[in-house]
Structure 1
Amino acid sequence: MKNLRTKIAAVAIAVVALIAAPAAANAYTPSTPDGTVTITPGGTVTVPFSGFEPEESVTFTLTGENGAGATLAAVKFVVNSASTTKAASADGSASVAVTLPANASGSYSLAAVGGSSGASSAVTIDSGVAAGGSALPATGFDTASMTGIWVGGGVLLMGGIAVTVIALMRRRQTA
């Protein structure tokens, strides 16, 4: 009986791992190792920077084609280059929320420059829309629409396992 419980626990853990793996694979990381962040037109992402002196003022500048409607940290600008200044935290990091306009196209450059240290860093922001073109086609599938299928499949699988375990237990008791 103890061996059967161990097998049931192992199967249950394996089933949970199989169901949870796709959710972990879809985790979103806003920046890539090459320093490029992709934001869909009208979307918002917070871009972190580090390496500044504690509490120093950091100026963020967003430059790009069709940037008239871009927003940096809830401040709207009407020019192709937008700037805002924020204070770095005690550990020398600073971040800014970038919202691209709904009609954004091409690439944008987001630069952060420390006021007293002169430390600087830059990130390229890609809108996913070619300059003067249309949006890239959507690929893959919507994971939110698949949630019901994953839950239903998991319930059916667990039900099948429960029926099998009950049948095995009855068979052992009668033998």
Structure 2
Amino acid sequence: MFKKILAAVAVTAGLLLAAPTAANAVNYTDGAQCKFDVSVAEAGGTATLICIPGTWSPGEAINWTVSGQDGAGFKLASLRTADTSLTFTKHANADGSDVLTVTLPASASGTYSVVGLGQSSGHECPASLTVLPADQASTVLDPGSSDGLAHTGSVVASWAAWMGGSLVVLGLIALAIVGWVRKVKAS
């Protein structure tokens, strides 16, 4: 009987450990949002807008639009216009990713909106960037990251993993106690 219970516990543990792997096999990135590498930049500096693979259709043409105070002063891939906003078309990479480096004008200040619109998929990806005037030092940390590292890997909360491990250990202890009690009763 003990072997059957132990086998059931092992199979259950294996299934619980395999479930996140199976869930991660599906490509969930279609239509993902693009993010700047920083949330606050200084005027005259640069910021990079990163779209992960699968955000766009492979090789899709993307219409990028930048708007905000003195939006015409922005440079995207060395293109400059005289409008209050800047529009630029760029093709996504073969894996559906895109990286857009934005050069901020020296007179930039405030919040700027950057919107990408896929011509074939119709996916819209808005992002915003706050720009501090050149004479003001940036002391704001990126709120999207607490330790500066990307959040990758399992989506299981650490408390859930500890709770699951604790339940397995408690179950093994309970099985050991039941086995010991049966052995004492038998003798």
Unaligned runs of 5+ in 2: 1-34, 141-187
Q: Which residue of 2 aligns with 1:153?
A: none
Q: Which residue of 2 aligns with 1:71?
A: 75
Alpha carbons 2:132, 2:138 under 8 Å: kept: no
For the residue of structure 2 that corresponds to 1:92, the secondary structure is: coil
TM, length-normalised to structure 2: 0.50
Deviations 1:141-173 (A, max 9, x none): xxxxxxxxxxxxxxxxxxxxxxxxxxxxxxxxx
Q: Which residue of 1 aligns with 2:45?
A: 43
TM alignment of 1:1-175, pairs within 5 A? 31=37, 37-50=39-52, 51-129=55-133, 135-137=135-137
TM, length-normalised to structure 1: 0.53
Deviations 1:20-40 (A, max 9, x none): xxxxxxxxx9535xxxx3221
Deviations 1:91-143 (A, max 9, x none): 111121111110111110011111100111111111123xxxx8434559xxx
Q: For this pair of structures, how many residues does the alignment match? A: 104
Is the alpha carbon distance of 1:91 and 1:127 closer, same or farther for their aligned partners in structure 2, counting shifts above 3 Å?
same
For the residue of structure 2 that corresponds to 1:52, the secondary structure is: coil
Q: Quick one: distance in 1 between partners of 2:79 and 2:56? A: 23
CA RMSD of aligned residues (A): 2.3
Q: Which residue of 2 aligns with 1:16?
A: none
Is the alpha carbon distance of 1:135 and 1:89 closer, same or farther for their aligned partners in structure 2, counting shifts above 3 Å?
same
Code of the residue aligned with 1:40 in structure 2: it is E
Q: Quick one: distance in 2 between partners of 1:138 and 1:48? A: 21
Is the alpha carbon distance of 1:30 and 1:60 closer, same or farther for their aligned partners in structure 2, counting shifts above 3 Å?
closer
Alpha carbons 2:37, 2:48 under 8 Å: kept: no
Code of the residue aligned with 2:37 in structure 1: it is S
Q: Percent identity?
A: 35
Code of the residue aligned with 2:89 in structure 1: it is T
Unaligned runs of 5+ in 1: 1-28, 141-175
